[in-house]
Amino acid sequence: MKLVARLLINALAFYVVAYLLPGFEISGYQALAVTAVVWGVLSILVKPVLVLLTLPLTLLTLGLFTFVINAILLLITDYLVEGFSMAGFGTALLAAILLAIVNAFLTSLAKEV
């Protein structure tokens, strides 16, 4: 159940960020669902490896480098998912920050329900 809730929250966060951020586009609900699933899989499988490899840099930046890691994961997701596109690394970095904010907000709302 938590996996489904997390997937729905991620999908909604992607939808909100696509609405707010020019250059961050999702072409439809099917692309939105696939993007949320691919993002979840990459976050589970690839992100821990990247975090471990960049741990000194992450510590040096007091954790802010995790936004760069998330931007890289977004670019990988962009490459893998047809119907999901971003204008470049700058858009991916801004999207990573917005996704973190929107995800935190939606997660706090979900905990209240």
* pLDDT (tens digit per residue) in 83-92: 999 999 999 9
User: Which residue segment(s) compose the domain that 53 sits in?
Assistant: 2-108
Evaluate whether residue 71 is within a structural domain: yes
Domains in the chain, number: 1
Is residue 51 in some structural domain? yes
Written as one string, the DSSP assignment of the chain is -HHHHHHHHHHHHHHHHHHHSTTEEE-SHHHHHHHHHHHHHHHHHTHHHHHHHTHHHHHHTTTTHHHHHHHHHHHHHHHH-TTEEES-HHHHHHHHHHHHHHHHHHHHHHHH-
Express each pLDDT in 19-78 by its tens digit.
Answer: 999 999 999 999 999 999 999 999 999 999 999 999 999 999 999 999 999 999 999 999
Q: Is residue 6 part of a domain?
A: yes
Task: Please report whether residue 32 resides in a domain.
Answer: yes
